[in-house]
Amino acid sequence: MRRPIAALALDFTRTTILSLFLAPLAVATTFAQQLPASDSLAKVLTAIATEAVTAQSSVRATGDIDGSLRNTKHGGAFRPALESRLAEIALRRTSLVAKGLVYKNPRTTLTASDAKIQADRATLRGVETTSLDQVEGGTELPPFKYVSQHAFEFRNASGSWQLTADSVVNAEGSGLRGQGGPIKWPRASTQRSLTPTRPVRTHPPTAIRYDEDTGPFHFASVGVAPKRRFATLDPNAIVIYANNYWYPYNSSYRDFETSGIRGGDCTNFVSQALKAGGWTEVDGYYTDDRFWWYGIATQTYTWVNAHKWNIFTANRPRGSGAPSVWDLEPGDILQLDFEGDGEIDHSMIVVSKPNGVPHLNYHTQPTWGRSLEDILASWPDAWYYAVWLDYTFQ
């Protein structure tokens, strides 16, 4: 049953509240009285920034910092600012090679814009697109790809422009926080399970459940089995959507990463893919964790917030917690709590599992085909929540 007229009207009256929840966020570093840089200076800054991001992807593939900088024109202009980051990338590369994952043939471009200058300081924005061939377990796999939004800062030191900062604006986990609540499922192990068993639900548990026949604000009593529709999930449709819209984003939906709306787009992307895979919307008040829908002017918190999506999925229920991150299959969801503080920050979609290793797509930052090995190496201290989605759900 769809939302009644009164509920639909809320889509429009909620815009005031929505402006508080998803207020525009200025992401560019600004200085007073900044002026557009001249074309010649913009070209110099762009050349430095392009070599900086290219060097990072090169080290990701080779592990050789000096070799990656040897043929650059502006290596001295950016190396001091990126020395520790390049060392970290090289160290992680060594760890991944030991696990059987090797990146090769990096291809990086940078589309720069918005170069500004004030006295001896300058800023530049840029969108990096990188693709790396990957070999895992001796098998050649499709490339690993990602798109990063950068904010570069420069300083003129004695007539020479130097990079002082390279910030990734759309880094993973850059969405809204402070939307917590109790998590039902335990954390997933990062060790491989010996005998994982995927549960199969054939009927709904007896609990407080949404009554499809009486509207979005009515709930059946505890112990009363409500009338509910059953539907079937198509994991292949989830994977197809995730591969089609990892980048560029589906313009039919609001973009919570690049449009200035606060929040990050990772769980919005997951919700879109799940709807494409057969998830039906559950109507009700948009701040309530028991509902999940996307409307003309707003959407439920559970649609866009990683933590609240987890609460909805566990309590409806439409899934269960897998014992290990390695147990996930294509179409399943992996979530991360980067700080280990009990609040989930990020959501990703498993799109393939070559040689038993899940590979994932996600938004914020848009990423395609990233190996679970790389994810675990990048965030070794994060808490992981592995979500087995029910193939039959309500």
Residue 312: per-residue pLDDT: 97
Rounded CA-CA distance 223/209 in Å is: 9
CATH 3.40.250.10 corresponds to the domain 35-168: no
- List average pLDDT for each run of 10 residues in the chain, which is 394 residues long: 39 37 35 67 96 98 96 96 98 97 98 94 97 98 97 95 95 61 88 73 37 32 42 94 97 86 85 97 96 96 96 95 95 96 95 96 96 97 96 86
Question: Could you tell me the residue ranges of all domains in the chain?
Answer: 1-24+170-394, 35-168
Residue 11: per-residue pLDDT: 40
Cβ atoms 283, 293 nearer than 8 A: yes
Q: Supply φ then ψ for residue 234, to 5 degrees.
A: -115, 100
Could you count the other beta carbons within 10 Å of the beta carbon of residue 349?
29
Give Cβ neighbours of residue 333 (< 8 Å, ≥ 6 apart): 270, 313, 319, 347, 348, 349, 350, 386, 387, 389
Residue 174: per-residue pLDDT: 54
Cβ atoms 387, 321 nearer than 8 A: yes
Q: pTM of the predicted model, to two decimals?
A: 0.83
- Give me the sign of the Cα torsion angle 90, 91, 94, 100: negative
Measured CA to CA in angstroms, residue 250 lies from 22, 145, 254, 264 at distances of 19, 18, 8, 15
- Bridge-based pairing state of the strands 346-352 and 333-337: antiparallel
Long-range CB contacts for residues 187-190, cutoff 8 Å, separation at least 24: 187/383, 187/384, 187/385, 188/321, 188/322, 188/323, 188/324, 188/325, 188/327, 188/384, 188/385, 188/386, 189/323, 189/324, 189/325, 190/324, 190/325, 190/376, 190/384
Residue 183: per-residue pLDDT: 87
Residue 96: per-residue pLDDT: 98
